[in-house]
Homo-oligomer: A and B are copies of this chain.
Amino acid sequence: MFIFNIGIFSIFAILATIVYCVQKTQTKNIMSPDYDLTQYQNPLFTVDSVLFTILQDSLKVLLVKRANAPFKGRWGLPGGFVDVELDDNTDMSALRKIKEKTSVAPQYLEQLQAFSGINRDPRGFSVTLVYYALISPQQVATQIDSVDDVRWVDLSEIPDLAVAFDHKHIIEKAKARLQQKALYSMIPVYCLPDQFTIGQLKTAIEAIIAKPIQRKSLVRRIEASNMFEALDEKVKSGGRLAQLYKLKPDVDIVHFERNLSLG
């Protein structure tokens, strides 16, 4: 009876102890095959995106009303944590978050840069890897209009808006990169529907770089880049009918050797 008691309870006790110890060492083993990773406090890591479009001839950015702390209720960039189950890499994390908010994939997606620091998140050292993306407004129109926690915000409104984290700064950086890139590439087409006129492209570029450009220069680049093909279709424009163009399938984005001038 005594033996039995020792047996039954000690087994229980030992089992519990074993579970605890296994749990501990497992954690240690997973985290430290050779290093002791536990000494490093892995930073908070998120992926955010600055999604741009052209609406009413001006540049807009997609903001989302935050549902959770920190900065609950404020506007911020769409993004969040990586889901290791769903995302093969951070590109897919960015894409997944954008799809959650717009229900479609953007035509253009590129890494901007990481922003990090000890103070940018109240929870501690954090890193956010930021992407910027371009999409045509038509693709998302219905989706956006039906919800009130997602909004296209004009870039001129940003300075006066209360924005979560350092997202205001991030948006400025993304805008600067987009502006620079608009000077030597055709990426602004990704803000347009897949059939577009030269006039629309000119307007989009001017909205992005906030300077007028020469239509002739644009035409020359369309020729030289060989990225586009003219459709046998024209469209009304308030004057002479405008030629429709579209991107050739599977073209690479050409980088011109000269920038458009910033006057």
List A residues at the B interface (Cβ < 8 Å).
1-2, 5-6, 8-10, 12-13, 16-17, 19-20, 23-24, 33-35, 37, 40-45, 68-70, 72, 81-84, 87-91, 111, 113-114, 116-118, 123-125, 127, 129, 257-259, 261
Q: Judging by beta carbons under 8 Å apart, are A20 and B12 in contact?
A: no
Contact B114 A88 (CB under 8 A): no
Q: Tell me if A90 and B118 are in contact (CB < 8 A).
A: no
Contact status B111-A113, CB under 8 Å: yes
A69 to B91, CA, bound (A): 27
Assess the A114–B117 pair: CB atoms within 8 A.
no
* Contact, CB under 8 Å: A69 / B34: yes
Q: Contact check, B72 vs A127: say whether CB atoms are below 8 A apart.
A: no
Q: How far apart are A74's CB and chain B's nearest CB, in angstroms?
A: 14
Tallying the copies of this chain within the complex gives 2
Q: How far is the CA of A258 from the CA of B259 in the complex (A)?
A: 6
Roughly how many angstroms separate A24 CA and B24 CA in the complex, as a whole number? 10
In the bound complex, do residue B84 and residue A125 qualify as a contact, i.e. CB atoms below 8 Å apart?
Answer: yes
Q: Would you call A123 and B5 a contact (CB within 8 A)?
A: no
Closest B residue to A7 by CB, please name it: B9
Q: Which residues of B contact A114 (CB under 8 A)?
A: 90, 111, 114, 129
Interface pairs A-B: 5 shortest CB-CB: A9-B9, A5-B5, A16-B16, A13-B13, A34-B69
**Chain B residues with Cβ under 8 A from A113's Cβ?**
111, 113
Q: Is the CB of B40 within 8 A of A81?
A: yes
A sample of 13 more A-B contacts (CB under 8 A), given A113-B113, A129-B129, is: A1-B2, A9-B9, A13-B13, A13-B16, A20-B23, A42-B42, A43-B84, A89-B117, A89-B118, A90-B116, A90-B127, A114-B114, A257-B259
Bound-complex Cα distance A118 to B33 (A): 18
Q: Which residues of B contact A13 (CB under 8 A)?
A: 9, 12-13, 16
CA distance A113 to B19 in the complex (A): 42
Tell me the bound Cα distance from A109 to B23 in angstroms.
Answer: 42
Among A9, A83, A84: residue with most chain B CB under 10 A: A9
